[in-house]
Chains A and B, each alone.
Chain A
């Protein structure tokens, strides 16, 4: 990933966009944070938020015409937050004083002509920027039209107190100045740049171009007048639309232009958001209760302390976080995609150090795409993580532990124990090819065999079969080399069979083939069954209600989702639809190899789903969804178990969890059964370790499975220990302990030999390699 790609990703996430109130505010006061502090009852902190952006907060907070309130999201629910009243209440009830942080002094001197609000703002800003400022005012006091406001709203002493800050900042204030053409020319010669407050120079006849109304003409974006180095603003009062906050904006714009003029910087660059603009932030209002605005008991006095706090608590603190709210992975790492994009980038670019600690994060995403569906701007965290995984592999920085188990499982599926391709027995042509998927064979071998029988019975032209893996683990792991290799094999075998139509029983296989092997015509098993009718043996489940658990890989496949629902209904069941279905299914924790790289997160994802379930049985049509939900304690069956029951009248939803060892055995069983049917050798090749017979309690089976230890791994350890005598003996309980390093993992087993069999008491593993004993 390069910098510009990072920027594109960052821009896509809108969480850091300002809320409506801030975007609508001409000077972009952080009203959301201000209100938050008020809601906490921390007026001093709230005042500091105002003072960060507002000049003369004691004045402006009392009189601001609060255009922010017109854009407040609460307007869509009830009434906007009373931001204006809250600001007033803050400055009335706090003793906060403005502490101005001055920038280093600069040698340039700026003249400000006119001391109404625009001119005062320009003077304030320029002093803060470190310029020497001289303020020329024709009348005997500063303030202009501020002095005409009701004293109850803006007391005289507040104006004097606030404006005194200019003197504290060493501003040179000249009152009673005559501002005619000659004096103006003098000032232009004497100062490096000039700001004119148009309210305060009425009748001065300055030698500048005028606009239609007779005001000094200014460029709307920068405030530039017809003379170089002279900027102007303010004076909207005469047009009958005087707005204190807009006067402030005009002064602020002018001071920024003057700074750029002095620095000879680009006048336009990066000023698109000067003044009010439309924010991109999205805030979901679902579930937010309507609450009327708090009305001050004494209207003219404004909010009391308690009233202000109660009103501030109505603020919904606008933010997006749509994806984080729906994804445990995004929630768990305590940030949001914009920050994640930066972290992923740093992880990729910075090889060592604190920034490089996101390997597990990058590999924990399930690539399910739910974030993209719920995101107002379609941010797909899976795409971001996938490119990072590919880069990690290319740089040889991918820790083996993240995907090794899953890739070995894929290798098992594509190897001798499972992989095979065959025409229908007795035929030499295939109009169809059944690709039941490695994981469905691993979970429901008997049902897969029955479904193959069904397809041969109902479809004409021959139904061949291909056992193997579609390559999803390699794809998810960012192993493009393995993925391409796997796809190429599928493609060439399919072509050898005469390019038949492919029937998939797994949504992941279907979506991957459709995207990466578009030359293949794909149809789901469920579509065939929906069209050809239910198998004879299909179980009757009249009256039962099930929750259809759409797999994440069916997100963009509404046709399959509908086929499945029609089948479920024709079985006599009622469907309870849940929010996370259709285009919003959540992954079960297998997708993206989350289960391998971050097993705890994958367990939590399922636990949360099961805990928030309605109590009705789940009906899955993805083998991994079935198995993961079952491991999480849910009652769940796979559609294929209802259509092709292996035990009549059985309760497939009670089948429960199965181990990775059983999964491999089941796959091999499917292949062996087919080979026997095809009249070929159905005997499994027997390595010496395969003859080691184990006795394993249910508790130990579950524990070792969670540690991703296969019973074959245990057989290898015991076989090695028994053949070589390399084992440790525990004198207290008579158990042996032996270990064997197999590729990257060292497996340990505690066992006791018993009449030719071996009772397994425990097994564990680690990835650190033992180099040896140092003498």
Chain B
């Protein structure tokens, strides 16, 4: 999973901070993953792009569901 250009230009509305690339943990169907994604260091808010959600994440979900 990679960070697309769609991530640029976003800031955290709660604290006004810029998003930084951080390690974000995900879990699904007993699998655990770590992905580098833009996130707010202060508030912990993560940015998942549409491209990621409907692309690589959806593919990974499908594979895990068939296992």
Query: What is the distance, in angstroms, from B13's C-beta to the closest C-beta of chain A?
Result: 4
* Residue A762 interfacial (CB < 8 Å): yes
* Residue A773 lies at the interface, judged by CB distance under 8 Å to chain B: yes
Q: Which chain A residues in 319-357 approach chain B with CB under 8 Å?
A: 352, 356-357
Query: What would 8 more interface pairs be, CB under 8 Å, given A725-B14, A770-B26?
Result: A352-B67, A356-B67, A726-B13, A726-B14, A726-B45, A739-B48, A774-B22, A774-B24
Residues of B within 8 A of A (CB): 9-14, 19, 22-29, 32-34, 39-41, 43-48, 50, 53-54, 57-58, 60-62, 64-67
Q: Mark A391-430, 1 if CB is under 8 A from B, else 0.
A: 0000000010110000000000000000000000000000
What chain B residues lie within 8 Å of A737 (beta carbons)? Answer: 10, 47
Which residue of B has the minimal Cβ distance to A747?
A: B53
B66 near A358 with CB under 8 A, answer yes
The total of Cβ contacts below 8 Å across the A-B interface reads 103
Given A736-B13, A771-B25: A728 and B45 interface contact (C-beta under 8 Å) = yes
The distance in angstroms between the C-alpha atoms of A716 and B49, with both chains bound, is 19
Q: Is A532 an interface residue (CB 8 A)?
A: no
Q: What is the bound-complex CA distance between A736 and B10, given in angstroms?
A: 9
Residue among B19, B25, B48, B58 making CB contact with A772, cutoff 8 Å: B25
A295 CB–B CB distance under 8 Å: no
User: Residues of B contacting A768 with CB < 8 Å?
Assistant: 26-28, 33, 57, 60-61
* Chain B, residue nearest A353 (CB): B67
A766 touches B14 (CB 8 A): no
Q: CB-defined interface of A340-379 with B at 8 Å, one 1/0 digit per residue?
A: 0000000000001000111110000000000000000000
Contacts of A767 in B (CB 8 A): 28, 61
Known contacts A773-B22, A773-B46; A729/B13 CB under 8 A: yes
* Residues in B neighbouring A766, C-beta threshold 8 A: 48, 53-54, 57-58, 61
Q: How far is the CA of A358 from the CA of B66 in the complex (A)?
A: 6
Query: A-B pairs with the 10 shortest C-beta distances?
Result: A771-B25, A399-B65, A774-B23, A768-B28, A766-B53, A732-B9, A729-B13, A768-B26, A727-B13, A357-B66
Which chain A residues (716-775) contact chain B, with CB distance < 8 Å? 724-732, 736-737, 739, 746, 748, 762, 764-774
A773 touches B53 (CB 8 A): no
Count of A residues near B, CB < 8 Å?
Answer: 36
- Which chain A residues have a beta carbon within 8 Å of chain B's beta carbons? 352, 356-360, 399, 401-402, 707, 724-732, 736-737, 739, 746, 748, 762, 764-774
Asked if B27 and A771 make an inter-chain contact with CB atoms under 8 angstroms apart, the answer reads yes
Report Cα–Cα, A522/B37, bound state, in Å.
Answer: 57
From A399, A401, A728, give the contact of B12 (CB < 8 A). A728
Q: Are A357 and B43 in contact (CB under 8 A)?
A: no
Determine whether the beta carbon of B45 is less than 8 Å from that of A360.
no
Indicate if the CB atoms of B67 and A728 lie closer than 8 Å. Answer: no
Shortest CB-to-CB span from B24 to chain A, Å, is 6
Which chain B residues lie closer than 8 Å to A772 at the CB level? 24-25, 44
Which among B27, B32, B47, B66 has the greatest number of chain A C-beta atoms within 10 A? B66
Q: Which residues of B contact A729 (CB under 8 A)?
A: 10-13
Contacts of A724 in B (CB 8 A): 14
A402, A729, A767 — most chain B CB neighbours (10 Å): A767
* Min C-beta distance of A744 to chain B, whole Å: 9
Cβ–Cβ < 8 Å partners of A769 in chain B: 26-28
The one of A402, A707, A726, A770 that contacts B65, using a Cβ cutoff of 8 Å: A402
A739–B24 CA distance with the chains assembled, in angstroms: 15
Shortest distance from the beta carbon of B4 to any chain A beta carbon, whole Å: 13
Complex: chain A residue closest to B43, CB-CB: A726
Contact A730 B10, CB 8 Å, known A769-B27, A772-B25:
yes
A731 partner residues in chain B, CB cutoff 8 A: 9-11
List, sorted by A's number, 23 A–B pairs whose CB atoms are closer than 8 Å: A357-B66, A359-B65, A359-B66, A724-B14, A726-B14, A727-B13, A728-B45, A736-B13, A737-B47, A762-B50, A764-B50, A764-B54, A766-B48, A766-B57, A768-B33, A768-B61, A770-B25, A770-B48, A771-B24, A772-B25, A773-B24, A773-B46, A774-B22
